[in-house]
């Protein structure tokens, strides 16, 4: 219950993987996202049941990761090590 309370008190950080998550780069990005413990982190793609804002984030010549809070996102990256640094 404390985790649910914590989640409701802070704006969650969303990590959006735009593009083909099943590719080698996409899998490396997903591994990097899940390697950093952050209780209020939500990992999304850009297809399926996601909010309209998430659908607007483009893949740029292959999979990229966006780290967002609300509707503000950092510059996208396809480098797994850079993504890990962004999440810390």
Residue ranges per domain, the chain?
Answer: 2-87
| pLDDT tens profile 30-59 | 999 999 998 889 999 998 899 899 999 999
Instruction: Round to whole Å and give the CA distance between 88 and 83.
Output: 9
Give a three-class secondary structure readout of 35-69.
HCCCCCEEEECCCCCCCHHHHCCCCCCCCEEEEEE
pLDDT grade, residue 86 (50/70/90)? very high
User: What pTM was estimated for this model as a whole?
Assistant: 0.89
Instruction: Let me know: does 52 contact 42? Beta carbons within 8 Å.
Output: no
| Whole-number pLDDT of residue 41 | 92
CATH number for the domain formed by residue range(s) 2-87: 3.40.30
Among 35, 33, 36, smallest CA distance to 21 is for 33
């Amino acid at each position: 219950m404390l985790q649910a309370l914590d989640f409701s008190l802070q704006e969650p950080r969303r990590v959006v993987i735009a593009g083909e998550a099943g590719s080698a780069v996409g899998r490396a990005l997903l591994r990097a996202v899940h390697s950093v413990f952050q209780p209020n982190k939500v990992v999304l793609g850009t297809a399926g049941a996601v909010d309209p804002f998430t659908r607007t984030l483009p893949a740029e010549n292959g999979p990229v990761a966006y780290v967002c809070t609300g509707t503000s996102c950092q510059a996208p990256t396809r480098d797994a090590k850079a993504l890990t640094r962004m999440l810390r």
